[in-house]
Amino acid sequence: MSYRDITEELDKLICGKTLQYFGDWKTSLEVERNLSPHTVISYIHDVKVFFRFFRTHLGRKIELKDLELFQRGDFRNWIAGLAKHYGLKKSSRNRSFSAVKSFYHWLGDKKGIYNWNFISLEHKDDPMKRAKERHALPRPLSYDQIMKLLGNISMVNREPWIIKRNIALLTLLYGCGLRINEALSLNYGDIGGDFIKVYGKGSKERLVPVLPTVNEKINDYVRSCPHKMDPDGPLFLGVRGKKLQPAIFQKTMQDLRAELNLPETATPHALRHSFATHLLSQGGDLRTIQELLGHSSLSSTQKYLKVDLEQISKIYRKTHPRS
């Protein structure tokens, strides 16, 4: 889904100032809020679905005045429709609500256009408040499972340099706690030292220490790679010498976990969960782990404490003589 795909339908849904202001709001997401392209596309898609609902509801294109006049019942029907017609779960409905809220807040802040019926939905005492979701705990892999992955990567690809590339990438994800997109955004010139500069969500920058074994596996891969490495070019390359795409490594992990009978949660992102959980179990403090992961809020990191406590509880119940 691209912005071009979305705008082609927008012309059939909204008109006049509404279309202009929608474009201005999108620019503010990119420039003022510095959101990632993926987040921007998600937000504008959610608002487009909002427009699609009200285009059908009105039987005509949405005008600017309509955004001010929609009633509480209209908004209730829209949210109910997200579940009924689109099958969205609570987390996705909450994201849709956040996207539309962002658009309405922008209209109020920048253009003085308000809909008090929508604003009232955000009030904590309102019976229509957003569904509270139970956040699933991260599913880390055990150390033995990670060693099993590293030791059997050749099962899904026998090309020597690709095996070394996959080992290097897997070791980097686990050894530094990176997201897959962060790892694949690294350039060849970024590596080799004791730290790497990583750009996370919202282009937030952080420095992450690199273990000697991680540098060792990366150097082993670089020496075997048949393609020329450019300091300003991507570190991890695909078969044709272009930047490796996340879907390729995700497929590698999928095939590998099937071969090794590992759970479906054995994904590239599970290596990041494992990094955090294993650090915590070895005495790492939450603030340090927060910095290493690039979390803006400590609450995002605290979920790993719950995982650690859950694992301790399982061991206790399994091994205690009175359990």
Q: Any idea which residues carry the catalytic annotation? A: 179, 201, 269, 272, 295, 304
Q: Which of 92, 150, 107, 102 is nearest to 18 (CA)?
A: 107
d(CA 54, CA 57) in angstroms, rounded, equals 5
Closest to 269 (Cα-Cα) out of 254, 288, 291, 259: 254
Cα angle, residue 291 at apex, residues 290 and 295 outer, rounded to 5°:
55
- In the chain, the N- to C-terminal Cα span, in Å, equals 52
Which of 157, 155, 189, 196 lies closest to 175, judged by CA?
196
Please count the helices (runs of H) and the strands (runs of E) in the chain: 15, 2
DSSP string covering 183-248, please?
A: HHT-BGGG-SSSEEEEE-GGG-EEEEE--HHHHHHHHHHHHH-SSPP-TTSBSSB-TTSSBPPHHH
For the range 27-34, what are the long-range contacts, defined as Cβ-Cβ under 8 Å and sequence gap of 24 or more? 28/106, 28/110, 29/102, 33/202, 34/202, 34/203
Residue by residue, DSSP assigns 138-200 as P-PPPHHHHHHHHHTGGGT---HHHHHHHHHHHHHHHHH---HHHHHT-BGGG-SSSEEEEE-
